[in-house]
Amino acid sequence: MFSKKIVSTILFCAFVLFSSTKCIGETSNGLLAYDNLISQVPKEIGSGDLNYLFGIKLYRARLISNSAFDSENVFGSNFALEINYFQSWDSSTIARRSLKEIIKLGYSDEEKNYRWKNWMTINLPTVKEGDLVSAFFSPETGIQLFLNEKFYSSSNDLEFTRAFFSIWLDVKTSEPSLRKKLLNINE
């Protein structure tokens, strides 16, 4: 009989194989190139910096979409979140922090969180100062990630995709002032 760990490993491998693509520098499986995607979301909705203690800048984020974007229903249309990093971070650190934020938002299914953390560790890039990560959201196809305008990875897991973008866009985010700037909410 298979142990629980072996079954979990097999399920995780199947999840990675069937729900993601990773291919640095080129697109495959019908994925659109960066220029094509960015032309579909030409309007800046808002932008802002994430700072740490004593004003240390971590990154600048920018939300772009088309004129149909609705801040009351952010997952109703295509958009892109661009993050320009002011610090260097390895993918495992970004994955750990992202999962922590996702759990704070109420995503508490341990099995999914395990899969999502593993996916992020493998598929989020290690970044250095000056790198630009562009994350494109589609309600139909999920997320496509680009590092410095080159395709990096994607996932068609829509629940994960919504959870990931909710880090910045959900009303319960740990950074509400950045959320307001991204969504251009003036209160």
Q: What is the pLDDT of residues 127-140, one digit of tens each?
A: 999 999 999 999 99
Residue type, 37: L
Predicted confidence at residue 90, as pLDDT, reads 96
Boundaries of every domain in the chain: 4-183
Predicted confidence at residue 51, as pLDDT, reads 87
Predicted confidence at residue 186, as pLDDT, reads 85
What is the C-alpha separation between 159 and 93, in angstroms, rounded? 22
What is the C-alpha separation between 86 and 51, in angstroms, rounded? 10
Q: Supply the DSSP symbol for 89.
A: B
CA count, 13 A, side-chain hemisphere, 143: 27
Residue range 4-183 in CATH 3.40.50.300: no
What is the C-alpha separation between 32 and 109, in angstroms, rounded? 32
Q: Which of 51-65, 77-91, 116-130, 168-182 has the lowest mean pLDDT?
A: 51-65
| Phi, psi for residue 50 in degrees, rounded to 5 | -105, 120
pLDDT digits (tens, 9 = 90+) for 3-27: 444 333 333 333 333 334 443 334 4
Query: Per-residue pLDDT for 30 more than 60?
Result: no
- 3-state SS assignment for residue 130: coil
Predicted confidence at residue 39, as pLDDT, reads 65
Predicted confidence at residue 7, as pLDDT, reads 34
Query: Per-residue pLDDT for 117 more than 50?
Result: yes
